[in-house]
């Protein structure tokens, strides 16, 4: 019945209950993760103010895959004990020999009969600075080669030309930077000394020697001390990079006080190395200092590896294991481990020597029994992959990365499409069609990966792949592994990223037919 005009409307009786200040009880947890989350964390606070994430590569592992990751990580950490690039080259040669590869003398290979060459699994070492691994594929070389490169040198301290010093009752070795580092990151931490020199033994015979002091248990460590905190917090000058090697004077009080401590230190070096080392030998030698100690897991779950020199041993080791692990390649496979990347790809053992295209590729053509010219077809139809490292986004580096384009630790290998710096200057741009082809190879092999760049749009950080790809003339692409603390004294890598980078290399070498991935031009 309607209300009469002019009469006030009646208020409807409220059927809702009066609100109370009590909150609804939380929903009971549904999964094991939710139960653990309730048990561990406070429920009345947030742990992050701003959150950026990417799908984790850990979730891509098949059942039992964590054991495979830890097995790979253990082998990788053992390999990290080799810190200098000459020692790494020796390690690579030894591992290739263990896998059945035979060292190749190029002069012999270019003049011998095919029958006398025998094994088609070869490697070639160039002066302890560069290693090439080669296995002839089932297809003709003119159908294409699969070539992967990774550098083996790492940033460190290096002695100057006239390094011996004594002052304030302290003997030391004056050092400079090798590669892009900050002095403070290598000061006040334990250091190991590496010496490569021609030295006379106790009998007076001249020998080439590789000497390491400070990396084994019980051996002394070396230090480059910095100024006390109370004086300055600024970056140390290069002149302050002096590694202490002694404080005790020689046991002759009447000897020259300006040389007595350094004399005792050199006498101790003779005794330790069992050589007749002199100051002239020191000037001729290569003397390097690396952070001492072995690689370790950096978390309780054994998911992060902490060690010096992971730039670029992380990718060099992945290349080694992926190369050896591909046993019957359809396409001729090649691996290149080289030095000098940290100093601008310069000097002996670097990519600028063109050793691959000028010497090794003709030798491969000969091994295959082809005439000159097939090598160029093999390169023109070939695929190339350049391996290096990149810096991921991190809470400690907010503002240094573009959060939409940065790499993520633990998200699998990173594909780098443009290797140039700001404005794409000076880098290698991969072909868009080949990018699609390569990602389909990864998808076929269930390899998690993501595309990223290092730095921000205002300040992109370039890589060094342009020399490699453009010299070969192949269709190429770059892949990287995320490293926290790059070029610092200790660097950190996710074990899952290291594992899947090796799987990526295997997938690259294991392609059966290019035609499967070719995309026709419309």
Identify the three-state secondary structure at position 81. Answer: coil
- Per-residue 3-state assignment (H helix, E strand, C coil) for 348-360: CCCHHHCHHHHHH
Closest CA to 332 of 381, 372, 388: 381
Task: Give residue 120's pLDDT.
Answer: 74
Q: Using CB atoms within 10 Å of the CB of residue 27, give its burial: 0 to 12 exposed, 13 to 18 middle, 19+ buried.
A: exposed
Cβ distance 354 to 336 under 8 Å?
no
CA 126, CA 121: separation in Å to the nearest integer?
17
Task: Give residue 114's pLDDT.
Answer: 38
Pairing type for strands 286-291 and 156-167 reads antiparallel
Closest CA to 455 of 395, 390, 503, 511: 390
φ/ψ (deg, to 5) at 37: -60, -40
Pairing type for strands 242-246 and 286-291 reads unpaired
Q: How far is CA 64 from the centre of its chain?
A: 26
Task: Give residue 218's pLDDT.
Answer: 85
Q: How far is CA 94 from the centre of its chain?
A: 20
Q: What's the helix, strand, coil split of the chain in %, to 5?
A: 30, 25, 45
CB neighbours (10 Å) of residue 158?
A: 18
Q: How far is CA 304 from the centre of its chain?
A: 14
- Confidence (pTM): 0.88
Task: Give residue 404's pLDDT.
Answer: 81
List the chain pLDDT tens, one digit each, 522 residues: 445 555 555 555 555 555 555 556 667 767 988 888 888 887 765 555 566 778 899 999 999 999 999 999 999 999 999 999 999 999 999 999 999 998 877 655 544 443 344 457 878 777 788 998 989 899 988 899 999 999 999 999 999 999 999 999 999 999 999 999 999 999 999 999 999 999 999 899 999 999 999 998 889 999 999 988 888 777 888 888 999 999 999 999 999 999 999 999 999 999 999 999 999 999 999 999 999 999 999 999 999 999 999 999 999 999 999 999 999 999 999 999 999 888 887 777 777 766 565 555 655 555 555 555 666 788 889 999 999 999 998 888 777 877 888 899 999 999 998 876 666 666 788 899 999 999 999 999 999 999 998 877 677 676 778 888 888 889 999 999 999 999 999 999 999 999 999 999 999 999 999 999 998 877
Identify the three-state secondary structure at position 147. Answer: strand
Closest CA to 76 of 310, 284, 405: 310
Task: Give residue 47's pLDDT.
Answer: 55
DSSP state of 68: H
Sorted by where each starts, the structural domains of the chain and their CATH numbers stand as 67-154+308-516 (3.40.630.10), 156-291 (2.30.250.10)
Q: Sign (positive/negative) of CA torsion 132, 134, 139, 141?
A: positive
CA 489, CA 156: separation in Å to the nearest integer?
8
Q: Using CB atoms within 10 Å of the CB of residue 334, give its burial: 0 to 12 exposed, 13 to 18 middle, 19+ buried.
A: buried
Pairing type for strands 121-126 and 102-103 reads parallel
């Amino acid at each position: 019945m309607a209300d009469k005009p002019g009469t006030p409307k009646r208020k409807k009786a409220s059927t809702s209950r009066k609100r109370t200040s009590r909150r609804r009880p939380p929903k009971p947890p549904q999964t094991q993760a939710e139960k653990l989350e309730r048990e561990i964390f406070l429920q009345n606070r947030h742990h992050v103010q701003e959150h950026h994430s990417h799908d984790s590569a850990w979730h891509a592992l098949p059942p039992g895959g964590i054991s495979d990751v830890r097995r790979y990580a253990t082998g990788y950490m053992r390999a990290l004990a080799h810190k200098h690039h000459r020692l790494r080259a020796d390690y690579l040669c030894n591992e290739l020999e263990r896998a059945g590869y035979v060292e190749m003398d190029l002069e012999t290979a270019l003049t011998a009969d095919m029958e006398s060459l025998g094994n088609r699994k070869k490697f070639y070492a160039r002066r302890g600075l560069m290693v090439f691994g080669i296995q002839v594929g089932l297809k003709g070389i003119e159908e294409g080669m699969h070539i992967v490169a990774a550098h083996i040198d790492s940033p460190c301290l290096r002695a100057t030309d006239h390094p011996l010093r004594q002052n304030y009752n302290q003997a030391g070795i004056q050092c400079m930077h090798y590669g892009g580092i900050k002095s403070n990151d290598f000061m006040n931490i334990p250091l190991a000394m590496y010496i490569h020199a021609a030295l006379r033994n106790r009998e007076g015979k001249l020998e080439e020697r590789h000497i390491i002091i400070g990396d084994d248990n019980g051996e002394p460590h070396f230090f480059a001390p910095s100024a006390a905190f109370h004086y300055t917090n600024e970056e140390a000058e290069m002149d302050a990079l002096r590694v202490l090697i002694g404080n005790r004077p020689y046991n002759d009080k009447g000897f020259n006080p300006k040389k007595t401590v350094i004399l005792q230190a050199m006498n101790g070096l003779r005794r330790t190395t069992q050589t007749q080392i002199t100051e002239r030998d020191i000037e001729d030698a290569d003397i390097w200092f690396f952070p001492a100690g072995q690689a370790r897991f950096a978390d309780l779950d054994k998911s992060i590896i902490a060690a010096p020199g992971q730039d670029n041993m992380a990718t060099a080791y992945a290349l080694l294991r992926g190369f050896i692990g591909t046993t019957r390649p359809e396409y001729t496979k090649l691996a290149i481990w080289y030095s000098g990347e940290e100093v601008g790809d310069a000097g002996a053992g670097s990519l600028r020597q063109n050793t691959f295209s000028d010497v090794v590729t003709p030798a491969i053509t000969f091994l295959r029994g082809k005439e000159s010219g097939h090598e160029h077809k093999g390169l023109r139809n070939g695929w190339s992959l350049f391996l290096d490292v990149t810096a991921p986004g991190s809470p400690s580096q907010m503002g240094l990365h573009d959060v939409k384009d940065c790499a993520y630790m633990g998200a699998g290998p990173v594909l780098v499409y443009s290797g140039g710096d700001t404005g794409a200057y000076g880098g290698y741009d991969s072909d868009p069609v080949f990018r699609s082809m390569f990602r389909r190879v990864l998808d076929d092999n269930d390899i998690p990966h993501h595309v990223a760049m290092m730095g921000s749009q205002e300040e992109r950080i370039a890589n060094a792949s342009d020399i490699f790809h453009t010299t070969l003339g192949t269709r190429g692409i770059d892949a990287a592994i995320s490293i926290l603390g790059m070029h610092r004294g200790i660097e950190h890598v996710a074990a899952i990223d290291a594992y899947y980078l090796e799987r990526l290399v295997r997938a690259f070498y294991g392609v059966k037919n290019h035609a499967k991935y070719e995309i026709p031009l419309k």
